Amino acid sequence: MEILHSKILGEGQPFIILHGFLGMSDNWKTLGTQYSENGFQVHLIDQRNHGKSFHSEEFNYDLLSDDVINYMDHHNIDSAYVMGHSMGGKTAMQLATSHPERVTKLIVADIAPKYYPPHHDFIFNGLSHLDFDQISDRREADDELAKYIKVKGIRQFLLKNLYWVKKEKLGFRFNFDVLKDRMEEIGENIFPNAIYDGPTLFLRGDRSEYIQPNDFAEIKRHFPNAQIETIDKAGHWLHAENPKQFYEKSFSFLNS
């Protein structure tokens, strides 16, 4: 059994943070440090096929949830506060509804319990044009990616996944081929009858389309004790676009 890679910060109550699609634990290092300085032992996890965690041909939310349970067992964590963003939010929802006794409180960042059609084609199209036999540094990779992805912030997010596979040879940390083939799985929903009645906070960006007011009833059906709050001046990457308000709202909930 393979155990997910993580960075563990601080001492205190276990708090597991799960990144989004094509992300990694490093995306949460700044906020994770803040939580760790205020009473939490923060576990910044790389999910399978992402970051420094193991690669696998199998990829779905059942497995992603089981990976977290295996991680908790490995680290002797009976229960934890759990937060997930986007894909990580779906993993967190699956975990909480399947193993409610292991989740003290749940925070879901900018994703609803519903099916999302595949919408990452333009990203994989851009990434597939990066020829690492020709590209020798991040600047060249960014120049090539800019032909397909105009938003600089998205390119910077993706390029964090580059690393030196060997001397003078760049590559992706994520499992490009499997994730490209399993795009349909990313949009899948949790089980129709799944319920977690523990304390739950949904955070949505006011400029994001991922959680709409007409999703609120479905959120409450799966998570009857859910609060739904909005982060101002933020899109889907709400924790990066308004980290101050994100931290204040999430920390207040964790300590309530």
- Any idea which residue has 């199209």 for tokens? 125
- Residue 51, Ramachandran bin (φ over 0: left; ψ between -120 and 50: alpha; else beta): left
Exactly one of 6, 36, 65, 86 is catalytic; which is it? 86
Q: Is 131 exposed, middle or buried (0-12, 13-18, 19+ CB in 10 A)?
A: exposed
User: Which residues, at least 6 apart from 175, have a Cβ–Cβ distance to it below 8 Å?
Assistant: 49, 50, 55, 56
Active site residue 236: yes
Angle, CA of 17, 216 and 20, to the nearest 5°:
25
Q: Is 128 a catalytic residue?
A: no
Pairing of strands 6-9, 40-45: antiparallel
Instruction: Quickly list DSSP for 125-152.
Output: HHHHT--TTT--SHHHHHHHHTTT---H
Does the annotation count 181 as an active-site position?
Answer: no
- Of 121, 131, 137, 177, the catalytic one is 177
H/E element, 94: helix 87-98
Q: Which residues are catalytic?
A: 86, 177, 236
